[in-house]
Chain A
């Protein structure tokens, strides 16, 4: 099952790689992804909007009827500090993903810090439940394979809402699959039996949702078109992370609609 999923998504990865070549993706290195988005880096490209809106509505229903109520209950029972500890624990488990992607993006110093962070938090932080590394200002990597693909110039492709997993795009969907490989094939992760990993994942998802309860409630209320709000926020945040917080340069000759800060007078 898992193998089949990986195979299917590797195929998708190959498809995006091909798309990149037909896009004239010869230029390696960071700056390339700005070209992938015809409407400018800050305007999401969404040709699949009809499908996406339906999928988004489905996800919202799941959230409304299942996830949010469960998370609300969880939040009521579990103290906030414990939620933070659980969140730290799962983030610490991401070590292989972060480390490998730091290296794949030719950031050896960050890879070293990622490793150092895991050592500190696993030992001093009692198995990752606490985060002393942050107190000591050890760099916290958020790299994943979607960002690695972006770093090497793979275009993001159109906005895509995945069932249950939410906002994505073809590049990051492929990244998601590749990032899960170590957890399927590399010990000690493979030693975790399925009857532990399924509830483990459930705890992770519910706990993450519980930490976001208030934020999402506020954002929903402040939105005029919740779908567009999420699409814009997710796309911007993602682009920003691919470029490690450096804003994508404004393209010369951008039309007023493309250029965010041009008052068209």
Chain B
């Protein structure tokens, strides 16, 4: 390569190329997947915003949380992981049904739990690469009853250059995927993997914490006369 002594034409050309490179790389940045840390930060911000929005009632907030969860979690991968060797014993229709029921279950459960926690902040404390190209984002809860609790999110990139989605939540060292996997293994050992789907349906028909409208109806004020 020659040095930069070929006059103004070359300089103009260089300038044009530089501008082009800048434009292209900005475009590439915009289209490239958000890095895992940003995904988690955005999720935390959105969840906390929902929880703090007192203008919406509990039921609406829970629906908002479910929308966020469905967007950030890879429920298909999570279903495969929790069912482990039992996954292949399900027919494709059963697999679809499992994903649907498990997603509903987690969304209900997650919504019910998280709705109690609002006076807390969440800090991202670090990140760590994992096997299979996964990435763990470590967070810590600050304030409230769970002050200091450690919550790790494990993310996996969807097919090559796709979005980073959450595939596991590890609270104080306890992996959600591992926990449900052990339970589902026990259930499947007793009556086959299909029973797991049945049990999920039962739970979903009777959510662990019903939305306000479903709470035991208040006794109507005794009618006059």
**A residues with CB within 8 A of B:** 42-44, 134, 140, 214, 218, 221-225, 227-229, 231-233, 236-237, 239-241, 245, 247, 250, 256-257, 260-265
Contacts and interface: CB of A to CB of B under 8 A. Distances in A.
Nearest to B88: A264
Interface stretch (B3-11, B38-46, B165-173): B165-173
Contact of A236 (B109, B175, B180): B175
Contact of B87 (A233, A250, A261, A264): A264
A65 B182 CA distance: 28
Interface of B: 77, 80-81, 84-85, 87-88, 109, 112-113, 116, 130-132, 134, 147-148, 150, 154, 167-168, 172-175, 177-187, 196, 199, 203, 208-209
Contacts of B116: 214
Given A225-B183, A225-B187, A250-B131, A260 B150 contact: no
A236 B183 contact: no
B173 A261 contact: no
A261 to B, nearest CB: 6
A218 B175 contact: no
Nearest to B79: A263
16 contacts: A42-B175, A44-B182, A140-B148, A221-B209, A224-B180, A224-B186, A228-B183, A228-B185, A236-B178, A240-B173, A241-B173, A245-B150, A247-B173, A261-B177, A263-B80, A264-B80
Given A228-B183, A231-B182, A239 B85 contact: no
A264 B81 CA distance: 8
Contacts of A214: 116
Contact of B81 (A44, A224, A261): A261
Contact of A224 (B130, B172, B199): B199
